[in-house]
């Protein structure tokens, strides 16, 4: 699967030395790190490589290079584009996630509710709970509505690149997203907002559309969070750079997506 779905979208090296091990083995080593959360220096390279045993620093070097080139996001966009028929956009869910940042780094701030430093990002999923896109991470001292217009444009940008239309899409969001600015933006994009009214806003009597039955389907995004937490490198953030952190997120999207897509294809 790695050779068919990931390797073809890696940039071809034009200068310098070519990798001494097959690309699929290097990616497999990176996926091992993603899943187990093991520190780079403890990668079991003797078991992960068949012939040429790469040093863990070489594996990390490849990962960082591909992160800086935004390869993992590009690969995910291509995967979405190739499997649009398997995405369920009868409705979607938007949610924010605060991840504990144990080593500090870029976009890290103290989050009072978690009582520790975190990084916050927005995630959009389809009706199946398949993660579709994420916003640019921000420091955890910001709430989900911080710079929401820009954050949601980043989410939409991923879908647009994958040639996925959001016109007419229902999106569930909890009361933390109850903002007139966000509602207006969604309306301009043709998105139907199903946002739980926030009584603290003092607009409980506002005549906003809200479907309680559809909102109850929002459990799927919580299940998605559990899937993401199954990747130990995402459960807690050890990466100090945002590019590395985003890279692991998009790699998790790829793994979750390919498993679901292949399962659907096998069932037909």
**Within this chain, do residues 113 and 148 fall inside the same structural domain, yes or no?**
yes
DSSP conformation class of 231 = S
pLDDT of residue 266: 75
Rounded mean pLDDT, 47-74? 94
Domain that holds residue 108: 88-223
Which domain-ending residue is among 69, 99, 118? 69
pLDDT above 70 covers a percentage of the chain that reads: 96
Q: Is 257 within the bounds of a domain?
A: no
Any idea what DSSP says for residue 15?
A: S
Residues 53 and 122 in one domain: no
- Residue 130: its H or E element: none
Residue 248, in any domain of the structure: no
DSSP 236: S
How far apart are the C-alpha atoms of 185 and 181, rounded to whole Å? 6
Same domain (yes/no): 187, 104: yes
Query: Are 95 and 193 within one domain?
Result: yes
Q: What pLDDT, on a 0 to 100 scale, did the predictor assign at position 184?
A: 92
In this prediction, residue 55 carries a pLDDT of: 95
Q: Is residue 77 part of a domain?
A: no
- Of the residues 16, 36, 69, the one at which a domain ends: 69
Asked if the structure places residue 20 within a domain, the reply is yes
265 pLDDT more than 80: no
**Is residue 236 scored above 90 in pLDDT?**
yes
Are 14 and 102 in a shared domain? no
C-beta of residue 117 within 8 angstroms of C-beta of residue 111: yes
Distances (CA, A) of 18 to 13, 14, 21, 25: 7, 9, 9, 14
Residues 116 and 153 in one domain: yes
Cα 166 from Cα 156, distance rounded (Å): 8
233 lies in some domain: no
pLDDT band at 83 (very low <50, low <70, confident <90, very high): very high
Can you tell me the mean pLDDT for 144-172?
Answer: 94
147 CA to centre of own chain: 18
Q: Taking a C-beta distance cutoff of 8 angstroms, is the pair 120, 96 a contact?
A: yes
Q: How many CB atoms lie within 10 A of CB 108?
A: 24
Q: DSSP for 36-105?
A: H---GGG--HHHH-SSS---HHHHHHHHHHHHHTTHHHHHHHHHHHHTGGG---S-EEEEEEEEEBSS--
Q: What is the pLDDT of residue 16?
A: 61
Read off φ and ψ for residue 267, nearest 5 degrees: -80, -10
Determine, yes or no, domain membership for 267. Answer: no
| Domain final residue, candidates 69, 99, 122 | 69
Together in a domain, 56 and 96: no
Is residue 194 in a domain? yes
Instruction: Report the alpha-carbon distance of residue 131 to residue 123 in Å, rounded.
Output: 7
Same domain, residue pair 112 and 56: no
Q: Are residues 42 and 123 in the same domain?
A: no
Q: Which of 10-19, 121-130, 140-149, 183-192 has the lowest mean pLDDT?
A: 10-19
Band the pLDDT of 5: cuts 50, 70, 90: confident
Average pLDDT, stretch 156-160?
96
Dist. CA 226–CA 78, nearest whole Å: 25
CATH of the domain at 104: 3.30.420
Task: Judge whether 220 and 127 are in contact, CB under 8 Å.
Answer: yes
Q: Could you tell me if residue 268 is inside a domain?
A: no
CA distances from 249 to 128, 132, 186, 205 (A): 18, 11, 25, 39
Token pair 């073809």: residue: 8
Question: What mean pLDDT do residues 109-114 have?
Answer: 90
Angle 240-247-51 (CA atoms, 0-180°, nearest 5)? 105
Residues 93, 203 within the same domain: yes
Mean pLDDT across the stretch 85-99? 94
Whether this prediction's pTM lies above 0.85 is answered by yes
Note whether 192 and 99 are same-domain residues.
yes
- Minimal CA–CA distance to 137: which of 10, 16, 17, 245? 245
Mean pLDDT for all residues in the chain: 91
Quote the number of domains for the chain.
Answer: 2
**SS percent in the chain: helix, strand, coil, step 5:** 50, 15, 35
Same domain membership, residue 93 and residue 18: no
Share of the chain above pLDDT 90, in %: 77
pLDDT of amino acid 239: 92
């Amino acid at each position: 699967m790695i050779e068919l779905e990931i390797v073809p979208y890696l940039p071809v090296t034009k200068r310098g030395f070519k990798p001494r091990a097959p690309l699929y083995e290097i990616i497999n080593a990176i996926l091992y790190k993603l899943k187990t959360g093991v520190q780079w220096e403890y990668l079991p390279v003797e078991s992960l490589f068949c012939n040429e045993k790469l040093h863990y620093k070489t594996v990390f070097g490849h990962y960082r290079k591909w992160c800086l080139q935004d390869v993992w996001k590009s690969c995910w966009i291509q995967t979405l584009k190739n499997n649009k028929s398997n995405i369920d956009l009868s409705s979607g869910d938007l949610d924010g996630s605060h991840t504990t940042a144990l080593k500090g780094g870029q976009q890290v701030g103290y989050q009072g509710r978690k009582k520790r430093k975190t990084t916050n990002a927005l995630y959009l999923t389809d009706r199946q709970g398949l993660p579709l896109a994420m916003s640019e991470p921000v420091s955890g001292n910001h709430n989900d509505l911080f710079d929401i217009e820009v954050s949601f444009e980043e989410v939409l940008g991923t879908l647009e690149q994958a040639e996925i239309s959001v016109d007419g899409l229902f999106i569930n969001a909890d009361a933390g997203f109850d903002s007139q600015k966000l509602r207006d933006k969604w309306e301009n994009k043709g998105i139907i907002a199903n946002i739980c009214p926030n009584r603290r806003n003092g607009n409980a009597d506002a005549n906003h559309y809200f479907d309680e039955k559809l909102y109850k389907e929002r459990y799927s995004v919580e299940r998605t969070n559990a899937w993401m937490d199954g990747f130990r490198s995402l459960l807690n953030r050890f990466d100090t750079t945002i590019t590395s952190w985003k890279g692991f997120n998009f790699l998790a999207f790829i793994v979750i997506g390919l498993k679901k897509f292949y399962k659907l294809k096998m069932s037909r």
